[in-house]
Chain A
Amino acid sequence: MCLGIPGEVIEIHPDQPDLAKVDVSGVKRLVNIGLLSDDPPKPGEWVLIHVGFALSKIDEAEAAAALSFLEGIGQAYEDEIAALRSSVID
């Protein structure tokens, strides 16, 4: 929950600019980017996601490190990805 999951922004929702489709380890889901409204991320940029909200922009190296950290955690990370997979934000 407190773990930030890195995701790559694919596209901004055409009707709702505070939502963006992101790719998290191959899982594509909508997340809320409203907390970054001062400097919204663009497609191709990486964000750190907490419980469905992008909380900070990160670079690709940081994203790789964060992902590796999460994969090292094992079960908790798999649970988090499974939860993300079941998440339907609209």
Chain B
Amino acid sequence: MAQATLRHDETGDVPVLGPGHTYGTVTDKISSIVLTEPPRPGWIFGFAVSFVLLLMFLFAVLNLLVRGIGIWGVNVPIGWGFDIVNFVWWIGIGHAGTLISAILLLLRQDWRTSINRFAEAMTLFAVSCAGLYPLLHLGRPWLFYWLLPYPNTMALWPQWRSPLIFDVFAVSTYATVSLLFWYVGLIPDLATLRDRAKSRIGKVIYGFLAMGWRGSARHWHRYRTAYLLLAGLATPLVVSVHTIVALDFTVGIIPGWHTTIFPPYFVAGAIYSGFAMVLTLSIPLRSYYGLKDFITDKHLDNMAKVMLVTGLIVTYGYLMEAFMAWYGGNPYEEFMILKDRPTGPYAHTWWLLLLCNCTIVQLFWFRYFRTHPIWLWVISIVINIGMWLERYVIVVTSLHADFLPSSWGMYHGTIWDYMTYYGSIGLFLTLLFLFIRVLPVISITEMRELVHEVHERGHARGGPAVTPGTAHP
């Protein structure tokens, strides 16, 4: 893919940066959203809606704390419902950030530059939403620290053979590394904001967060090293976190869960949904804030290609699941995968899932759909819904009909399940709206670097050179 990107750039096909940009214009454009512009009506409206949803979330959680998880639809035999579905959905969405930041950085993909900050923020907020679900699922969330190995008066120690305890560490490590990665990347930009802030309070807050960044050569050297090390650390996490989430299921001997294909196709699904969410959010963002020079059609095109690849891997996963159910000769597995899911009481979710995840993504074979933002946006939302349905099908159908018909049952989310789910979207969007207003949504530092690189490349080709202007931290 590295080759393809270069070739596109060299032929001047669709650039990763709009023409005519200098260090100054890039800095002005990105920092103005935070520093000089008053909140736009669209932002205020969006924030208000998200905040109302957040309040609904808090209400639903408060009710849960007061009355217990009996308010949810979960009950024997279906002990995992919306809580786990949403957990997996959110944590999957959170995977795009690290993939874009770490793996694409190590692979030197320069198109990651303008979307990495935004995708990392999205990752953090998605992981925050994801992390809440297992805690709420505990029933007594205030005893969450029992999940950790610490010297307690009960002489209790976690069960290390259970992937559920791996999960605690996987998700918390992921959250920590993502936060550090995001924050380290922000430091030079925070210094820029500190230097450009007009108000005293702005200077103090950004100055405090910039940790004394002066842009000296030594600073840059250390920054580079730290950033690369963190990228190295974050890379295995892209595959490890969702692998462990997949193990949560596969270690159980429930039909439909106990398969070895789960970890790889969960990881692919996570990246699939993560990129879908990046597209869902970045298309309106770039249009509303006039950032089309930075998040160009080329970015959208590339993300669509990543989604096509991961979508095909996910489809392959479904096919293998079906094949193994038939080939393995286990009657319970065969019943679950080949009979209950396509024709059972939850068949509508299964067919919708195939439509959303496997069928609609095929449109990305056509350049037309990859380059028209409105199509991309609609398809990315469809895929987000599809990935949610995938988790619903996996969690609910497998539990609702296991080995003995005497232990079969049905599950439906209650009003509180739905309120918690939509409320967590409110939490996610509220954080995102705040992020847009208080931090640069695109990395100013890396965009300046990109200006320089594009300029150098222009020199090398002997084409019209872009004047980068003077460097300023």
> A and B, one complex?
no
Chain A residues near B (Cβ < 8 Å)? none
Chain B residues near A (Cβ < 8 Å): none
